[in-house]
Amino acid sequence: MAVESRVRLEPLWRVRARLFLRSFRRNWALFWESRIGPLGLGIILLFVLMMVAHPILMATVWDPRVYDPIVGFDPDLVGKHPAPPSPAHPLGTDPIGRDVLSQLMWSTRSEFALGVTAALITVTIGTLIGAVCAYFGGIVDAIFMRIADLVMLFPFIALLMVLRSVIHLDLVRLALVMGVFSGFGGITLTLKAQALTVKVKPYIEAAKVAGGSAFHIIRRHIIPNILPLSFLYMMFSVTGAVFTEAVLSYFGLLDIRMSWGIMIHTAESAGYLGAFGQYWWLWAPPGVAITLLCFAFYLVGRGLETLVNPRLRKR
């Protein structure tokens, strides 16, 4: 009796929260068990820390005229740039006298913004199309699948190299283009396949019989069930976006003022790249940062895979 009344009193949101918490705990345990997932997450947190620290440092200890990542310049070291690491510049300065650490930290923000925006757009489009195609099939499915075929014919980096002369590719537009383009690509196939397995579940039939609209069924039943997989692909998309930006910047093909790729490009075009050990602070920090961030998101993705695909679990 008492138990019953307690249940009745508890509002729905709390039940939901409790259920969510429980499933989160279970999933977290699984994620933790993958070991590589948490490793990736740790690295990502490190980058977040760097991102957050930059404006704080700029506001407190770093003089903007010296440490500005784009037009900063250390007049005390004239003639010595690129200067090796010193207490004032823990990662040295670049060929035109800017602080490498400041550039590295400042760029983290744009890498995150770019990667996450692009991945979000990709996954949103991919999930919607995947769900819609799976639910309706027929002509809708055929159209989107042909589009996906078409998109998959284009080598992505090669395509962006052309697009950059058509549109002025700054960070935001690059994220948009990358997101939309990959959203219509191969990801729809995977998500559609997943949605198809959901579609044949008995509860979908039940919802249909109960008079649920297509929109309602897609929104309440199909999408929630493919979301974990979408989330997983989001991680891989972040890796793809960050990598693509870095390659294009490295080739000097983007109109971005500063990024990790640009840092390496600057070192290269000024002729310091091949000296390897001698000027390591010019290429190693951005190079390692690009690799590590891509690596970290990929690992998180791999870690999430065990949640999404029970067959990959240990037991």
Partner 1 sequence: MLRFLAGRLAQILVTFFLFLTVVFLLFQAMPGDYTKQFIMNPKIPPEARKALQERLGLTGSVWDQYVHYIRNVFTGNLGVSFQHYPREVWDIIKERLPRTAVLFLVADLVAFALGFPLGKHIAWRRGRLSDYAVTVTGVLFYTVFTPLLAIVLLYVFSNVLGWFRSGGFLTPSLWLRPPVPPQTVFLLLTATVAGLLALWGGGFLVTRGIGHPRPRAWARRALVLLGLALAAGAWWQSGLGPYAWDIVWHMVLPVLAVTLISFGGTMLLMRDSMLEVIREDYITTARAKGLPDKVVRDRHAARTALLPTVTNFTIGLGFIVSGGIVTETMFSWKGMGLTYLEAVLQQDFPLAMGCLIFTGILVLLLHLVVDVLYAFLDPRISY
Partner 2 sequence: MVGRAQRVRHKGFKLFGFPKEVAVRKAWMLVAAIGLWAAGQVLNIGIFEDLTTTNIWARIGPDATVWNTYVLAGQHGALYGPVPPVWIWLPSLAEGFPSPFVEGDGKWVATVKIRQGIFWTDGTPFTADDVVFTFNVLLTEVDGMRMALALGGNWPSYCPNSLLAVEKVDDYTVRFVYATEPGLGEWTFGALGCPIVQKAYWEPKWQAALQTEDPAGSLLAVVPEDEPILGGYDLVRWEPGAFAVVDKNPAYYATGETLVLYAGGGAALRNPKLNYSFEAYGGATGPVLYELTEGPYVDSIVYPIYLNQEAAVLALQKGEIAMFLNPLGLAKGFEDRLKATPGVQIISNPPWGFRYLAFNLRREPMNYKAFRVAIATLIDREYVAESVFQGIITPMYSAVPESNPFWHNPNIVVYGRGLTRAERVAEAVRVLKEAGFSWEAEPKVIHPGTRNEAVIGVLPDGTEVPAPKGFKLPDGRDCPELELLAPSAGYDPLRATFALYIEQWCRELAIPVKANLTGFNVLVNKVWAPDGFDFDMYILGWSLGNPAFPDYLYYFWHSSQDVPEGFNTPGYRNPEYDRLAEAFLAAKSVEEARPLVFRMQELLAEDVPYVILFDTPIKEAFRADRIAFPYTEVLGGIQFVWPLTTVKALK
Residues binding partner 1 (CB under 8 A)? 35-36, 39, 146, 149-150, 152-159, 161-163, 165-166, 239, 243, 246-247, 250-251, 264, 273-274, 276, 283, 287-288, 290-291, 294-295, 298-299, 302, 305, 309, 311-312, 314
Q: Which does 299 bind (CB under 5 to 8 A by kind): partner 2, partner 1, none?
A: partner 1
232, 308 contact by CB (below 8 A): yes
**Which residues, listed in sequence order, are joined to residue 93 by a DSSP beta bridge?**
99
| Residue 184 CB, nearest approach to partner 1 (Å) | 12
86: nearest Cα among 267, 289, 281: 281
| Residue 92 CB, nearest approach to partner 2 (Å) | 13
Tell the residue number behind the tokens 């397995």, with chain if given. 197
The angle subtended at Cα 231 by Cα 115 and Cα 202, nearest 5°, is: 155
| Residue type (1 letter), 99 | D
Residues near partner 2 (CB under 8 A): 70-71, 73, 75, 78-79, 81, 95-97, 164-165, 168, 249, 251-257, 262, 265-275, 278-279
| Element (DSSP H or E) covering residue 188 | helix 186-199
Q: Which is nearer to partner 2, 50 or 254 (CB)?
A: 254
Q: Which is nearer to partner 1, 17 or 275 (CB)?
A: 275
Q: Which does 155 bind (CB under 5 to 8 A by kind): partner 1, partner 2, none?
A: partner 1
| Residue 41 CB, nearest approach to partner 2 (Å) | 33
78 to each of 84, 95, 233, 257, how far by Cα in Å?
13, 11, 47, 23
Neighbours of 86 (CB within 10 A): 13
169, 177 contact by CB (below 8 A): yes
Q: Which does 79 bind (CB under 5 to 8 A by kind): partner 1, partner 2, none?
A: partner 2
262: nearest Cα among 69, 67, 65, 51: 69
| Residue 84 CB, nearest approach to partner 1 (Å) | 19
Q: Which does 2 bind (CB under 5 to 8 A by kind): partner 1, partner 2, none?
A: none
